[in-house]
């Protein structure tokens, strides 16, 4: 499973200035460049080193000592001085300690697995964030087109109102109202442009662009509202219950809690192991190079090998307290796992409901666009023929613009909802 760590490190293409970023290349760049993912990846690597340290306690421990200097020996009969060169090698090996060391190894190994699951969850969150930002940016791009059309319609209406007023067909209030509507349309268009600029800033931040921007290099697909957008939407074929079960099997956050339970079990074994002795085998070999006059007192070579039993019979209730603490932590992790399942079930269910809601909104808004356009066209004809007043015409125009804006928003909200569902179930 840890081979997945290479996901953001694979050899990805270097993107030149001329490249147009689409959703896939944006995600690749985010996985490469985002500092928050780098922090998480390094945290996982640190946890791997802790696991290696814990594993070392079950491996032989070897030490080498060497020294040189002067030595003096004084007894009741004589005093001898000379040069001493000595070397000593010691080795020890744990044989069995009733699960203390193996529990520690399990604890750190599962903590490392939990860290890796957290890292993968952050990758999933990052993918969802980039998708959300990209589709939100596309929504703002296309809303500008809607508001540009609105501005053209209001400009045209002002020109027509002025012409009708000059000809004595309409009153001056129509001209004044058209000027007000034109200024409102200009404000709306300007605000949408500022909103788009902010969307670029957000996207650059979330993909890790520190000294550059995707502005001017982003793929902006054409969106034709009149071409049946609803039928082009990707569909979710899994039922709600199946999505929840899929989430239980694939959501990395849930895997993290499962690993935390296992690590807590290892911690209980580690702490309770202090109730029992540890069995070790140890030995050492020493060589001394001394002057002849000192050889009587210091052997040239010596060695020993033995089996040691180490048992802490009383530690001031420390073992009891640490074991109970580990057991309580295990209970907490079990509760956290159950809570995570409930939360993930809720997230998956909510994401599915929101997707169904977005699906319905796109379908109905597409029908509304057709109806609003027809109403606006009829209102124009009625106004030109003196069958309706200016207020009816403006209401029809505003309804047509609002319908187009809603259609654009609902269309991209569907893709944002689909991305949220993918994240919620770990897909």
Taking residues 141-153, report their average pLDDT: 96
Check residue 3 and give its pLDDT: 46
pTM: predicted TM-score of the whole model, two decimal places:
0.84
In this predicted model, what pLDDT tens digit does every residue of 306-320 receive, in sequence order? 998 888 888 778 889
Paired sense of beta strands 79-96 and 301-310, if any: unpaired
In this predicted model, what pLDDT tens digit does every residue of 159-197 receive, in sequence order? 988 888 888 877 888 889 899 999 999 999 999 999 999
pLDDT interval class at 4 (50, 70, 90): very low
Q: Quick one: how far is CA 50 from the chain centroid?
A: 23
Judged against a pLDDT cut of 90, whether residue 412 lies above it is answered with: yes
Please, are residues 140 and 406 in contact by the beta-carbon 8 Å criterion?
no
Which carries the bigger pLDDT value, residue 296 or residue 156?
A: 156
Q: Quick one: how far is CA 424 from the chain centroid?
A: 12
Judged against a pLDDT cut of 90, whether residue 127 lies above it is answered with: yes
User: Of 54-58, 62-66, 243-247, which one has max mean pLDDT?
Assistant: 243-247
In this predicted model, what pLDDT tens digit does every residue of 18-41 receive, in sequence order? 468 999 999 999 999 999 999 999
Alpha helices in 214-317 (DSSP H): 240-250, 252-272
291 within a domain of the structure (yes/no): no
Read off the CATH number of the domain in which 411 is found: 1.20.1600.10
83 within a domain of the structure (yes/no): no
Taking residues 126-141, report their average pLDDT: 97
Judged against a pLDDT cut of 90, whether residue 374 lies above it is answered with: yes
Taking residues 387-405, report their average pLDDT: 89
Alpha helices in 251-389 (DSSP H): 252-272, 318-384
Check residue 129 and give its pLDDT: 97
Rounded Cα gap, residues 207 and 1, in angstroms? 25
Comparing CA positions, the residue from 381, 364, 373 lying closest to residue 399 is 373
Check residue 262 and give its pLDDT: 95
147 within a domain of the structure (yes/no): yes
The 3-class SS string of 17-44 reads: CCCCECHHHHHHHHHHHCHHHHHHHHHH
Check residue 11 and give its pLDDT: 40
72 within a domain of the structure (yes/no): no
286 within a domain of the structure (yes/no): no
Check residue 19 and give its pLDDT: 66
Please, are residues 376 and 400 in contact by the beta-carbon 8 Å criterion?
yes
Check residue 313 and give its pLDDT: 84
Rg (CA), the chain: 37
Check residue 170 and give its pLDDT: 78
45 within a domain of the structure (yes/no): no
Strand order of the β-sheet with 61-74 is 61-74, 79-96, 278-290, 301-310
pLDDT interval class at 84 (50, 70, 90): confident
Domain count within the chain: 1
Which residue range forms the structural domain that includes residue 419?
2-33+97-275+314-425
Q: pLDDT > 90: what percent of the chain?
A: 65
Taking residues 86-110, report their average pLDDT: 91
Q: Which residues, other chains included, contact 193 with Cβ-Cβ below 8 Å and sequence gap of 6+?
A: 144
In this predicted model, what pLDDT tens digit does every residue of 342-362 receive, in sequence order? 999 999 999 999 999 999 999
Which carries the bigger pLDDT value, residue 79 or residue 258?
A: 258
Taking residues 189-214, report their average pLDDT: 94
Rounded Cα gap, residues 134 and 335, in angstroms? 37
86 within a domain of the structure (yes/no): no
């Amino acid at each position: 499973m840890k081979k997945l760590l290479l996901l953001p490190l694979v050899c990805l293409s270097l993107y030149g200035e001329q490249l147009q970023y689409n959703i896939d290349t944006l995600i690749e760049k985010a996985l490469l460049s985002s500092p928050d993912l780098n922090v998480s990846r390094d945290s996982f690597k640190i946890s791997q080193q802790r696991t290696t340290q814990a594993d070392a306690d079950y491996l032989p421990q070897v030490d080498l000592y060497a020294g040189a200097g002067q030595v003096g020996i004084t007894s009741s009969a004589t005093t001898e001085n000379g040069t001493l060169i000595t070397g000593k090698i010691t080795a020890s090996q744990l044989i069995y300690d009733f699960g203390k060391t193996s529990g520690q190894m399990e604890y750190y190994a599962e903590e490392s697995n939990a860290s890796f699951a957290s890292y993968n969850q952050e990758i999933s969150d990052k993918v969802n964030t980039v998708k959300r930002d990209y589709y939100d940016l596309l929504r703002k791009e296309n809303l500008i087109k809607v508001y540009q059309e609105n501005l053209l319609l209001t400009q045209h209406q002002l020109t027509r109102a002025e012409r009708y007023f000059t000809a004595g067909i309409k009153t001056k209030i129509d001209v004044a109202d058209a000027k007000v509507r034109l200024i409102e349309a200009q404000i709306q268009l300007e605000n949408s442009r500022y909103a788009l600029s902010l969307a670029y800033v957000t996207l650059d931040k979330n993909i890790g662009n520190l000294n550059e921007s995707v502005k001017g290099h982003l793929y902006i697909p054409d969106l034709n509202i009149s071409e049946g957008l609803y039928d082009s939407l990707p569909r979710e074929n899994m039922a709600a219950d199946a999505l929840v079960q899929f989430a239980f099997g694939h959501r990395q956050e849930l895997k993290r809690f499962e690993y935390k339970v296992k690590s807590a079990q290892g911690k209980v074994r580690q702490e309770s192991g202090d109730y029992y002795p540890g069995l070790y085998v140890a030995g050492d070999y020493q060589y001394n190079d001394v002057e002849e006059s000192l050889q009587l007192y210091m052997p040239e070579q010596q060695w020993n090998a033995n089996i040691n039993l180490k048992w802490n019979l009383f530690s001031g209730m420390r073992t009891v307290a640490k074991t109970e603490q580990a057991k309580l932590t295990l209970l907490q992790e079990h509760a956290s796992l159950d809570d995570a399942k409930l939360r993930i079930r809720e997230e998956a269910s909510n994401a599915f409901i929101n997707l169904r809601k977005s699906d319905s909104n796109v379908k109905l808004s597409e029908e509304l666009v057709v109806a609003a356009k027809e109403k606006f066209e009829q209102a124009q004809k009625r106004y030109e023929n003196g069958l309706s007043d200016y207020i009816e015409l403006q209401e029809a125009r505003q309804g047509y613009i609002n319908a187009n804006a809603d259609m654009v928003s609902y269309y991209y909200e569907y893709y944002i909802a689909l991305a949220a569902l993918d994240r919620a179930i770990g897909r």
